[in-house]
Amino acid sequence: MYAVRGGKLNLKGAADDASSSKKRKKHSSSSSSSKKQKPTIDNDEDDGEQDYVQHGGWWKVSKFHEITGNVAIEFGTNSYAHTLDNGLFCVGPTRPFGEGPDQQQILTAIRISENKVAFKSGFGKYLAINKNGLVIGRSDAIGMREYFEPVFENGNLALSACNDKFIRFNEEGDLVAMDDSATEANFINIRSNSKRIHEKEKRQKELPVEEQGSIRETELNYVKKFQKFQDKKLRINQGDVKDLVDAKKSGLLHETLLDRREKMKSDRYCK
């Protein structure tokens, strides 16, 4: 089982023994709104797109490097940690289908290290935990108490505070960090509205400009770059494009492209 110093994700039940020194009124959604049927998108092939639309363009992060900029911490479905003006937190009311988090539910994530992050509320204060394990947003600067560690495992995400305890809302509606292991109550989604760069798109951007297109476009781009003819007419090798596909898979694309260009030169001079 993956461990984070003193904490680990654990699907088994655990007793909710957390308590806080302060009580406050908890935002709650009415039973009618929680039972209200939400529209669905008929797209079984892309659950990620349906989730994106349902949350108003706020997508669910799945890797640590995606936690940056504007984020919201979701508990359950369409309910977010809501910042109060006294620095405390409560569960916000369920947001309507197609809407993202409310303004007071948006945090700014700042990466501290390869696995630590800090959060700043809309009131300009950083989140931390006090000696009772209560999560509060009253810090003016980032120190050890403001460090949080997102823990990804088996498709679940939990947030470990600097005391090596996982955060959740207790029965009084307080956001606390009290649990050594993560259960359903600790599982969250961190959502972002920043431009999402998919892995395929990221790999594409890392390619040379000439190779950012189809395999046939790649050959054409290199022909334009290297071949020079007096009549200024491009001569493209008419060989099977499958040879280029195979060459790209085996890491021999550039050698194969060069051979095809050289063959066109030979054909020209042999006429």
Q: Which helix (H) or strand (E) holds 50?
A: helix 47-54
Structural contact between residues 82 and 91, judged by C-beta atoms closer than 8 angstroms: yes
Confidence of residue 270 (pLDDT cuts 50, 70, 90): very low
How large a percentage of the chain has pLDDT more than 90? 51
pLDDT tens, position by position, 147-165 = 999 999 999 999 999 999 9
Structural contact between residues 135 and 125, judged by C-beta atoms closer than 8 angstroms: no
Most confident of 12-21, 39-48, 148-157: 148-157
> How long, in residues, is the chain?
271
User: Which residues, including other chains, have CB under 8 Å from residue 246's CB and lie 6 or more apart?
Assistant: none
Taking the C-alpha atoms of residue 265 and residue 271, their distance in angstroms, rounded to an integer, is 10
Q: Is 223 left (phi over 0), alpha (psi -120 to 50) or beta?
A: alpha
Q: Is the pTM of this model over 0.85?
A: no
Q: Write down the pLDDT at residue 230.
A: 60
